[in-house]
Amino acid sequence: MTFSQLYRKAKRDLEAAGVDDPQFDAMCLIDYLFGVDRADLSVMGDSIPDSDKENRFLRYVEKRASGFPLQYIIGTWSFMDIPLCIGEGVLIPRDDTEVVVRETLKRIEAVQNPRIIDLCSGSGTISIAVAKARPDAEIISLELSETAFVYLEKNIEFNGCGNIRAINGDLFKAFNDFDDHSFDAVISNPPYIKSDVIETLSSEVRHEPRLALDGGEDGMLFYNSIAENWLCKIKHGGVIGVEIDEDLTSEIITRFEKSSVKNIEVIKDIAGLNRAIMGTLP
């Protein structure tokens, strides 16, 4: 088959499988395997690729059609124009998380040499975005999963973020290792999906690690721990920022208010959904 025929077949197969954006995914796979982007395709469409690569491409299309995430096939993904290495065992970076990054940066703008901890760092999505925007910051990235921690360290090195220190640790225990009032900001995109909802998610999402998705019976497991054990680590006037599930908005606000968080704001994402809760410590 020619490049154009391969592209059209991939698009048809992915569309038939119910992939959300078959045109985008087909083009990403063409670019990934052959180094042919959309502009190249218009020129090289009648060319015939190497047969071995063609077979690999068709296998990737079949894998994607089965619900396997595109990002895991490609092995890299961008977040806020930052390249990140990802794969099975790590949460896929999503544009929604930009809300936490941008709102945190806005709230620490006047703080010189801020000290920040990112809980449940995963591949380093939040930590690296903040570190690159604020090279004067000292950032600690805490991640429990050993698989995700490998990607975290790799991405820190790849992006040249010498101001990040990665710690392979447990959010439910590691608070004992830090002094009270020692951070200008505590930020996190914790697991927040209710346990009994996970099996109802799309097959694509269920390929992601349950450890990064499961927020316990009511989705509040991690937020409760942050409120109980991590808010005290924030300096007076410092920032707390968490990504949320819109359905948990009122529960998280109530929990944070009980822990004396002030100036609580709910921040919406580009789709108009509640995506983050920000606040300050009195």
pLDDT of residue 170: 97
Is the pLDDT confidence value at 45 over 80? no
Query: How confident is residue 50, by pLDDT bands cut at 50, 70 and 90?
Result: confident
- Which has the minimum average pLDDT: 46-55, 175-184, 247-256, 262-271? 46-55
pTM check: above 0.75: yes
Buried b / exposed e across 244-279, counting CB within 10 Å, b at 16+?
bbeebeebbbebbeebebeeeeebebeeeebbbbbb
**33 CB-near residues (< 8 Å, 6+ apart):** 53, 56, 57, 60
Residue 240 backbone phi and psi in degrees, to 5: -115, 135
| pLDDT for the residue 202 | 87
Helix (H, G, I), strand (E, B) or coil at 269: coil
pLDDT at site 49: 83
Contact 143, 128 (CB under 8 A): no
Q: Which of 128-132, 210-214, 239-243, 275-279 has the lowest mean pLDDT?
A: 210-214
**Confidence band (pLDDT; 50, 70, 90) for 36?**
confident
Mean pLDDT of the chain: 95
- C-alpha distances (whole Å) from 216 to each of 24, 32, 60, 97, 193 are 34, 37, 34, 21, 7
DSSP class of residue 86? -
* Residue range 82-138, pLDDT digits in tens: 999 999 999 999 999 999 999 999 999 999 999 999 999 999 999 999 999 999 999
Residue 99: phi and psi, rounded to 5, are: -55, -45
| Residue range 90-280 in CATH 1.10.10.10 | no
pLDDT-derived band of residue 278, with 50, 70 and 90 as boundaries?
very high
pLDDT score, position 42: 79
Amino acid residing at 23: Q
pLDDT at 44 over 80: no
At residue 1 the predicted structure's pLDDT band, cuts being 50, 70 and 90, is confident
Mean pLDDT for 135-152 is 98
pLDDT tops 80 at residue 43 = no
